[in-house]
Amino acid sequence: MAQSQNRPLIIIKKSGWDIGLELAALAAAGANVGIVLWFWSQLPPTIPIHFGITGEADLFGPKIIIWIMPAVAVFSYGLMTVVSRHPHTWNYPVPITPENAERQYKIGMQVLIWMKTQMLWMLAFVVWQMIWVALGKVATVNVAAIFALLGLVLGTSWYHLRQAHLAR
């Protein structure tokens, strides 16, 4: 943290893409809550709350537990939004200098907003899958889709990490 005190404070203007992704992330946080609200009355008192690697439910609990996912989504959205306002305090894979600070801050903000949006939509997908299994519409969660979404998040992180190294 001491190192961040020497970093330049630069206001980074959000691009159209950034604003669009921010709105998509906000929509995802809302979708996490909305999906549960929409199906709440249809959910049985006991629902699957954990799934094995095959996607089959292996632990059941009270339906109130499903609210953990939307709570995590809303909290994550808020936390990442607040953190995004202070890029000069973040850890970076390269040393920050007055010459590269703006480039690095932009890349850092891009990775954060992409990860926020992808993660929140992934949580919404997981909530939807949990509800579908609880209602008997499908037998298992779609593990392949969940792993593909996780791969997308990791791929985005890798891409931006590479961009940060190239923009030293």
Q: 150 lies in which domain range?
A: 13-166
pLDDT of residue 157: 85
Go through the chain and tell me how many residues it has.
Answer: 168
Q: What is the distance between the alpha carbons of residues 2 and 114, in angstroms, rounded to a whole number? A: 27
Residue 142 falls inside a structural domain: yes
For residue 1, the model assigns a pLDDT of 45
Are 88 and 82 in contact by the 8 Å Cβ rule? The answer is no
Q: What DSSP state is assigned to residue 13?
A: P
Q: Are 69 and 126 in contact (CB under 8 A)?
A: yes
How many distinct structural domains can be found in the chain? 1
Per-residue pLDDT, 5: 63
Task: Confirm whether 96 is domain-assigned.
Answer: yes
Please report whether residue 4 resides in a domain.
no
In one-letter notation, the amino acid at residue 20 is: G
pLDDT at 8 over 80: yes
Q: Give the per-residue pLDDT at 3.
A: 56
**Residue 59 included in any domain:** yes
Asked, for residue 43, whether it belongs to a domain, the answer is: yes
**155 within domain boundaries:** yes
pTM: 0.87
pLDDT at 6: 80
Residues 6+ apart with CB under 8 A from 138: 129, 132
pLDDT digits (tens, 9 = 90+) for 90-149: 999 889 999 999 999 999 999 999 999 999 999 999 999 999 999 999 999 999 999 999
pLDDT digits (tens, 9 = 90+) for 26-78: 999 999 999 999 999 999 999 999 999 999 999 999 999 999 999 999 999 99
**Which residues have a Cβ under 8 Å from the Cβ of 34 and sit 6 or more positions away?**
none
